[in-house]
Amino acid sequence: MERGLLIVFEGIDGCGKSTQLRMLAERLRARGANVVETKEPTNGPVGKRIRAMAQSGNAVAPEEELAWFIEDRREHVRDKLEPELAKGSIILCDRYWLSTVAYQGARGFATDEIMRNSEAEFPIPDLALIFEITADEGLARVNARGGRSEPVFEEIEFQKKVEKNFAALERGWIVRVNARPAVEVIHDDVVDRVRALGVLID
């Protein structure tokens, strides 16, 4: 059976990636594709621990935070991403290791090292869409949708560093999407990028 596709959705908090993921999933399913929607941090035990920490406002040591994201990803790759890729599914993943490069890089870890280690250990995406807005715009959107829920990550100086780290990423499989226009306009852009992978889509 043909191997599936891994498409990841990335960007700072409030960039609108989750909305775009849902819209693309719907569009692909209408075309009969076997689509799997998933996310990191996951809903597994380690992912839940990360969310509880982020929502509590009590950050753990950066080393521990980094280790948790990697542990969560290891389980996600083993239990879901690899089996679904083997089945030929199109996986749409809300955050993956470019988030570790950008966020834990903003905590002070070397971004090139996280990138190298991730590329060596985990499946490389067929496509990574980075939804671009500024940190100020992102936080304004987070506030508009009901305020900060994860104070450990949603802080302006931190988000600015994350934005800078995302902006510096360069790989053939990474594309940037302007996340400022209306959702339908962004969606059309996303569809064009996915079509370029050879996926049938109307």
Sign of CA dihedral 169, 40, 92, 156: negative
> Per rule CB under 6 A, is residue 54 in the interface with ligand TYD?
yes
Binding-residue total with ligand TYD (CB under 6 A): 15
* Of 8, 35, 6, 27, the residue nearest 175 (C-alpha): 8
Q: Which of 4, 5, 8, 13 binds ligand TYD (CB under 6 A)?
A: 13
Which stretches of the chain are assigned E, i.e. beta strand? 5-10, 35-39, 90-94, 127-132, 174-178
Q: Is 39 left (phi over 0), alpha (psi -120 to 50) or beta?
A: beta
**CB 58 → ligand TYD: shortest distance, Å?**
15
Q: Which of 16, 41, 105, 138 binds ligand TYD (CB under 6 A)?
A: 41
* Of 47, 41, 165, the residue nearest 115 (C-alpha): 165
> Per rule CB under 6 A, is residue 125 in the interface with ligand TYD?
no
Q: Which of 69, 122, 131, 166 binds ligand TYD (CB under 6 A)?
A: 69
- Pick the closer one to ligand TYD by CB: 72 or 84: 72
> Per rule CB under 6 A, is residue 131 in the interface with ligand TYD?
no
